[in-house]
Amino acid sequence: MTKTLKFLSPFSAVLLLIAASIPASAQRKPRIAVLDFDYGTVRSYVQAYFGTDVDLGKGITQMLVTNLVKDGSYTMIDRAAMDKILAEQNFSNSNRADPSSAAKIGKLLGVDAIIVGTITEFGNETKNQGLAGGGGSGWTGALAGIHHSKSSTNVGLNARIINVDTGEIMGVAEGTGTSSRSSTGLGGGGGNWNGHGGGAVDFGSSNFQNTIIGEATKAAVEKLTTDVIADAPKVSVRSISVEGVVAAVDSGQIILNIGKKSGVKVGDQFTVLRVTKEIKDPSTGAVLRKLTTNVGVIKATDVDDISAVCSPVSGTDFKVGDTIKTVMQ
C-alpha cells in the first residue's frame, strides 16, 4: 500500500502547533462594538419629554455597553477608536440601523461583530382626576386644585448582532421596560423631567434613573443586555490572515507595505520569511511552491492606512522583498 505524505510549510506548522497548545478556555472572547441606537421613530416624544432633542440613542448605547463590560462575556471596543472611524467614514445618524454600513465599520474596527439597535417606544401617559381644576391626559396635564394622578411609561428596544464579514444577522435582542406611579397632592402636576442642562443628559446617573421614564429605560436596557449576553456563543471569533512584503529597512526599522486597511494594529507581531527557491511546473512554468527560510519576528510600532513601521523582536538581516505573515484573532 502506498502512502501519500503531505508536507506543511514551516510557517503553517508553527501556527498549527501554537493553536493546538492553546486550551479552549484561553481563546479570546468575542470582540464587539455597539453603534448608537436609532431613535428616529420616537424623536418627537424625546423632544417633548426633555424639552429639547436629546440623543437618546447614544444614552441607551452607553447604558448597554456599561452592562456588557460588567458582565465580561464580550470584549468591548474603545469608544474613542470607534468615533474616529465613524468620523473618517462620514458615518451619519441615518446609518445607525443599516446592517451593511455597520458591517463596514465593524471590519475597520477589527471586531468580530457589531450591534445596531432601534428604540421603538419611549413615552408616558399621565391621567389626572381632581376638583376645582381640569383633568387631562398627556405629558404635563397640569391641575389647579386637589388632584390624583397616575403616570405610566413604556420603553421598547430591539437590537441585531451583525456579522462584519457577511452582513448577516447572528442574533436578535429585545428589551421592554414599564414603570408607573400614583400621587395625590395640591397644585399643579406634570410629567416632564427637568434634570438636564443644554440638552445633555447623564443616562447612567440616579438623577435620571430614579425618574419614572428612567426606571422604564433601565429595565428595558437590562432585558436587552440579557438577550445580547445569551447570544455570545453565536458570535465566532474571527481569524485574519495577514500577508505583506518588507518595503524598506532603515536604521533598524522595518517598513511594511500593509497597514490598517489590511487589519494591522500596533502591537501585532509578524513572522518574516525569505523565499529561497521557487518550484515551477516544468510544462507551464507556473510557480507550484515557494521554499522559504525563517528570518525572524517583528512587531508593529506605528501603523497608518497603507503601511506599518516595525521593530525586530528576534532575528537580523531583514531585507526588502522579505514576506511577512501572521494569523490574528
pLDDT of the chain along its 329 residues, tens only? Answer: 444 334 444 444 444 444 444 444 446 789 999 999 999 999 999 998 888 999 999 999 999 999 999 999 999 988 888 888 888 888 888 888 888 889 989 888 888 999 999 999 998 766 655 544 444 434 443 334 445 567 889 999 999 999 998 889 999 999 999 998 875 443 333 344 444 433 467 888 888 888 888 999 999 999 999 999 999 999 988 776 788 999 999 999 999 999 988 878 888 899 999 999 999 999 999 999 989 999 999 999 999 989 999 999 999 999 999 999 875 55
Q: What is the DSSP letter of 218?
A: H
Do the Cβ atoms of 167 and 99 come closer than 8 Å?
yes
Do the Cβ atoms of 180 and 212 come closer than 8 Å?
yes
pTM of the model: 0.64
d(CA 237, CA 240): 10
d(CA 165, CA 240): 11
Strands (E), 186-264: 240-250, 253-256
Domains (range + CATH), the chain: 29-129+139-234 (3.40.50.10610), 238-328 (2.40.10.410)
pLDDT for 208 equals: 86
pLDDT for 48 equals: 87
